[in-house]
Amino acid sequence: MEEKKYIEKRKYSRYAVEGVTGNLLFATNVRIINISTSGVAIESTRRVDINREYILRFEYKGNKVSLKCAVMWSFLYGMEKNEKGETIPIYRAGMQISEEQNEKINTLMKFIEEHRLERLERRLSGIRFKIVADKIAELSCPQNYRIKKLSIGGMLIESDTGLEKETRYPMEIHLDGEIIRVIGRVVHCTQVTLEHHIRYDIGIEFIEITEKDRNILNNFLKNL
């Protein structure tokens, strides 16, 4: 791994790095279209990737239910106008609920019984039901990024997805077998086109980090 110090007027010295990556946890609201104890169909304004694992969260009688799901199919369903008059894409996706969540099945069955509108079809894995149209859930997934520059107080990352300035996200940084976790604030986001492929350079400020993780990061930077 080759690194060199990046000289700039900042509160903390920032270093250019190679081979350092991390994950950002995206969360977006989705609408549940239909559901069974083994699978769920959703509608979203953000595309989800086939064969990728997501966490689906929704509230039931004051309790938050989290289900680990794998995307089996996904496609662009249509386009519509939002409140600002902007045209946005609408995606639909089908996800298989992990079989490792037996302790949540009873709660899920109660949720289905309370919110179902009609039975859609019988499948080998069970009966799927259509859900009331306004039932909103949250879908989250780790998004990988590459770290280009790193300091004790922030970093510059490269990502396939742009982020809105001033938004905050839980983030992970992978450092020589260690994983540190921070809350990052988006300071700036610049679109970069590379051979017809769009990527984003994003400046992140660390606004929350534990003392333990700060020490791990500090030791990593000292050894550059």
pLDDT in tens, 83-132: 888 888 899 999 998 866 556 666 666 666 665 654 444 444 445 555 55
Kindly list the distances between the CA atom of residue 83 and the CA atoms of 12, 88, 137, in Å, as whole numbers in the listed order.
41, 10, 20
Q: Which residue type does 27 have?
A: A
Q: Identify the pLDDT of residue 66.
A: 84
Mean pLDDT of the chain: 81
Give the residue, 187 or 66, on which the prediction is more confident.
187
Q: Which residue type does 106 have?
A: N
Give the residue, 8 or 221, on which the prediction is more confident.
221
Give the residue, 31 or 12, on which the prediction is more confident.
31
Per-residue pLDDT for 140 more than 60?
yes
Specify the pTM: 0.60
Per-residue pLDDT for 6 more than 60?
no
Q: Identify the pLDDT of residue 129.
A: 54
Q: Which residues are paired to 147 by β-bridges?
A: 157
Per-residue pLDDT for 211 more than 90?
yes
Question: How confident is the model over 2-23, as a mean pLDDT?
Answer: 69
Per-residue pLDDT for 148 more than 70?
yes
Per-residue pLDDT for 187 more than 70?
yes
Give the residue, 90 or 39, on which the prediction is more confident.
90
Range picked from 85-89, 111-115, 198-202, 203-207 for highest mean pLDDT: 203-207
Q: Which residues are paired to 158 by β-bridges?
A: 146, 201
